Amino acid sequence: MQTWRILLALSFLLLSGCLVSFTEPLPAEQPAPAGLLGKWASKNAWGEPLNIELSRVGANRYRALSYPGGTARPRDAYDFTVSRHGNRWYLSAAVPQAFGGHYSIAGFELNAKHELVLYTLDLEQMRQALGQKALSGATMTTAEGDGVLISSPLPEVFAYLDDPANSDLFVEAARFKRAGK
C-alpha cells in the first residue's frame, strides 16, 4: 500500500489514507516546467524501489506511469495538468470514485539538488480552513478514510494556498531523484 500512496501523492493527495479533493481541476493552460518530464526514482518506507515516468500526452497535459518494485512494465497511469501560482507549482489529477471522485491538487518543486519533491495538503489544516470559512466545502467519507471536498472557485483556492501565512499547509510526501539514462 505504501507504493500506492507515494505515487498517489503525485496524483491524488492521499496522505495516511486521508484526502483533500476539489470540485474543479487545474485547467490545461500552462506547460510543465523544464526538467519535470522524464524518469524519476525513489524508495518507499521499506526500501523498495519506486519509479515514475512523466511524459507529455497532449497540449499541456501529462501522464505519470508508475513502475513499483523496479518492474519494467508500468502498473498505473495517471493523467495530470500543471499550473504555477505565486511561487509554487501545482499539479492536478482526477481522483477515482473509491477515493471520492473529483480532483486533487498537489504542490511540487524541482529543487537545486535536481530532485522532484511532491507536497500534499495537510488534511487537518484544510478542515480548519473550512471551519473558519476561509474556503467553502464539506467533509466526505471515502474507501480510504475521511477527507474534505473543497468547492471554492480556483481563484479563491489559490489566493488561500499562495498566502505566505498558509505555507505550512504543504507537507512533503515524496522525494524523487532523476533516474539513470
Question: What Rg do the C-alpha atoms of the chain give, in angstroms?
Answer: 15
Q: What is the pLDDT of residues 76-102, one digit of tens each?
A: 788 999 999 888 899 999 987 777 779
User: What is the Cα 66 distance to its own chain's centre?
Assistant: 14
pTM of the model as a whole: 0.84
Q: What is the pLDDT of residues 42-70, one digit of tens each?
A: 887 778 888 889 999 999 999 998 877 66
23-37, 71-85, 105-119, 166-180: range with lowest mean pLDDT: 71-85
Which residues pair with residue 140 across a beta bridge? 147
C-alpha cell at 39: 524518469
- Whether 15 shows a pLDDT value over 60: the answer reads no
What average pLDDT does the segment 140-144 reach?
Answer: 78
Q: What is the average pLDDT value for the chain, to the nearest integer?
A: 84
- Whether 17 shows a pLDDT value over 80: the answer reads no
CB-count exposure of residue 99 (10 Å: 0-12, 13-18, 19+) = buried
- Whether 165 shows a pLDDT value over 70: the answer reads yes
14 pLDDT tier (thresholds 50, 70, 90): very low
